[in-house]
């Protein structure tokens, strides 16, 4: 199910129109006004996408323990409607949000963003991309030994190898080819990595590994 979180009729009409081609037979774009309601729906059922109107009077906050972060752990979340500063966009991505976009974009561009997010990808704007790439380069720098951080000791050698490649921005299919694994095996390893390290997304994993690197003794 696709869920639209907004109180604005024009916002809802725009996104219903954009999402029509992504709805399956008998499916529809449901709506609610509050993140708390969206979170309740996510806990009870399967949401394929949740589009959140950030100009709603009940707009989401970016706290790590807030409703937005909780929702992002349970569904693909796309923040929409307003222009984002780089800091806000990166903060949202670090919570597990799959992307953010302004509704002033052309419909074809918005449809492309939706397609990327629905396929499991993460949408990063051109403005935020340099900072995200910087973090990924830092994450790809030489890491301290695995036993230097108790959290990394939770991972198997194969999981540490895959986590390092993810931090470099390598796609699942490429990881599978490099390591001689199937796509499903790589996804299973990633699920285990996310669970063991308590992270909701590839971006958060990269940031976590980057933090480990920056804390390593010179």
Residue 146 sits in the same domain as residue 115? no
Per-residue confidence (pLDDT) for residue 61, from 0 to 100? 58
Q: What torsion, rounded to 10 degrees, do the Cα atoms 85, 4, 75, 176 define?
A: -70
Residue 95 sits in the same domain as residue 14? yes
For CA atoms 5, 11, 16, 19, give the dihedral sign. Answer: negative
Per-residue confidence (pLDDT) for residue 26, from 0 to 100? 61
Residue 137 sits in the same domain as residue 94? no
Per-residue confidence (pLDDT) for residue 189, from 0 to 100? 92
Residue 147 sits in the same domain as residue 193? yes
**Nearest alpha carbon to residue 88 among 134, 39, 135, 54:** 54
**Which CATH number covers residue 178?**
3.40.50.2300
Residue 111 sits in the same domain as residue 8? yes
- pLDDT tens, residue by residue, 41-65: 888 777 788 998 876 544 555 655 6
The total number of structural domains that make up the chain? 2
Query: Starting from the edge strand earliest in sequence, which strands make up the sheet with 2-5, in order?
Result: 29-32, 2-5, 49-53, 77-80, 99-101
Per-residue confidence (pLDDT) for residue 65, from 0 to 100? 62
Per-residue confidence (pLDDT) for residue 140, from 0 to 100? 61
- pLDDT tens, residue by residue, 126-153: 887 887 777 666 656 655 544 456 677 7
Domain around 170 = 131-215
Q: Which of 71, 98, 127 is at the close of a domain?
A: 127
Residue 203 sits in the same domain as residue 166? yes
Residue 56 sits in the same domain as residue 97? yes
Rounded-to-integer distance, Cα 39 and Cα 124, Å = 24
Residue 123 sits in the same domain as residue 135? no
Residue 111 sits in the same domain as residue 140? no
Residue 92 sits in the same domain as residue 104? yes
pTM comes to: 0.59
Residue 54 sits in the same domain as residue 153? no
Count Cα neighbours of 200 within 13 Å in the Cβ-side half-sphere: 20
Beta-carbon count within 10 A of 44 CB: 8
Q: Which of 79, 104, 127 is at the close of a domain?
A: 127
Per-residue confidence (pLDDT) for residue 146, from 0 to 100? 41
Q: Where are the beta strands (DSSP E) in the chain?
A: 2-5, 29-32, 49-53, 77-80, 99-101
Q: Which of 78, 97, 127 is at the close of a domain?
A: 127
Residue 118 sits in the same domain as residue 177? no
Residues of the chain with pLDDT under 50: 57-58, 145-147, 214-218
Q: Judge contact between 6 and 30, C-beta under 8 A.
A: no
């Amino acid at each position: 199910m696709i869920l639209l979180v907004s109180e604005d009729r024009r916002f809802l009409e725009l996104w219903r129109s954009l999402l029509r081609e992504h709805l399956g037979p008998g499916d529809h774009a449901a709506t609610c006004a509050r993140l708390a309601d969206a979170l309740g729906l996510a806990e009870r059922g399967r949401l394929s996408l949740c589009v959140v109107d950030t100009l709603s009077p009940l707009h989401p906050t970016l706290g790590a323990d807030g409703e937005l972060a909780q929702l992002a752990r349970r569904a693909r979340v796309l923040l929409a409607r307003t222009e984002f500063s780089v800091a806000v966009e990166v903060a949202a991505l670090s919570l597990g949000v799959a992307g953010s976009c302004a509704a002033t974009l052309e419909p074809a561009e918005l449809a492309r963003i939706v397609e990327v997010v629905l396929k499991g990808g993460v949408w990063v704007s051109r403005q935020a991309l340099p900072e995200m790439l910087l973090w990924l380069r830092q994450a790809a720098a030489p890491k301290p030994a695995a036993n230097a951080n108790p959290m990394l000791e939770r991972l198997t050698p194969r999981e540490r190898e895959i986590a390092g490649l993810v931090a470099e921005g390598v796609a699942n299919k490429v990881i599978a080819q490099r390591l001689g694994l199937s796509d499903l095996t790589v996804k299973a390893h990633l699920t285990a990595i996310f669970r063991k390290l308590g992270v909701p997304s590839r971006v958060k994993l990269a940031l976590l590994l980057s933090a480990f690197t920056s804390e390593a003794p010179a």
